[in-house]
């Protein structure tokens, strides 16, 4: 079984690429964003706590996210592989994910990073807000906070995975199909 992390800034197309990869390779898609949005839709306590943070462009605490991921790994042992999307987002989360994987006798095989310029990230997030009606994507100040948070908290994990020889970067500025072909060639 293979375990991949699909990495990149918000709006990079991770969710779109993940859907295509799941379809082609039958991976189990672990999207922390979708897991959290599901909790929010259901109105759970976790969902209410997460909504308050997300609406301000902040990250949800690691212990909540790690618990959800652990459940996904344990409850989907029949999967052909796993594709993590939206996690890890910090070096501490990367270390926690590695420890969780080790505890379960598994390891991350590769981190596939979609790279694109900040201006394109901003435009993609605004466009996504229009199409999907996502409130967390509509406010320019929140969008900028998400981009800034990505650079300050998420980008440092690149070195963490580079040091493990697991980091691969892909130009995410092409069409959906062009980016998908680049990812598929890696796999």
Distance of alpha carbon 142 from alpha carbon 159, whole angstroms: 27
The CATH number of the domain holding residue 67 is: 3.40.50.300
Give a yes or no: residue 186 inside a domain: no
Print the domain residue range for 174. 2-179
Answer yes or no: is 185 within a domain: no
Residue 184 lies inside a defined structural domain of this protein: no
Give residue-wise pLDDT tens across range 4-43: 999 999 889 888 999 999 999 999 999 887 888 877 888 8
* Domain-embedded: residue 187: no
Residue 161 has pLDDT above 90, yes or no: yes
Residue 162 has pLDDT above 90, yes or no: yes
The structural domain count of the chain equals 1
- The pLDDT of 126-142, averaged and rounded, is 79
pLDDT of amino acid 97? 94
Confidence (pTM) = 0.81
Q: What is the 3-class SS of 85-110, one letter each residue?
A: ECCCCCHHHHHHHHHHHHHCCCCCCE
Percent of the chain with pLDDT over 90: 47
**101 exposure class (CB count in 10 Å sphere: 0-12, 13-18, 19+):** middle
- Give a yes or no: residue 63 inside a domain: yes
């Amino acid at each position: 079984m293979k375990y991949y992390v699909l990495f990149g800034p918000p709006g990079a197309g991770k969710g779109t690429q993940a859907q295509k990869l799941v379809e082609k390779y039958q991976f189990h898609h672990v999207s922390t964003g979708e897991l959290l949005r599901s909790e929010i839709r259901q109105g759970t306590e976790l969902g209410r706590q997460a909504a308050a943070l997300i609406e301000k462009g902040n990250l949800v605490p690691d212990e909540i996210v790690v618990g959800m991921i652990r459940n996904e790994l344990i409850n989907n042992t029949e999967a052909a592989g796993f594709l993590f999307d939206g996690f890890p987002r910090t070096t501490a989360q990367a270390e926690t994910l590695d420890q969780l994987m080790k505890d379960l006798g598994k390891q991350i095989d590769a981190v596939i990073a979609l790279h694109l310029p900040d201006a394109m990230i901003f435009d993609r997030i605004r466009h996504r807000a229009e199409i999907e009606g996502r409130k967390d994507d509509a406010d320019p100040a929140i969008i900028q906070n998400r981009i800034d948070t990505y650079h300050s908290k998420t980008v440092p994990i690149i070195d963490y995975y580079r040091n493990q020889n697991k980091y691969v970067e892909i130009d995410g500025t092409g069409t959906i199909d062009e980016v998908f072909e680049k990812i598929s060639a890696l796999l």
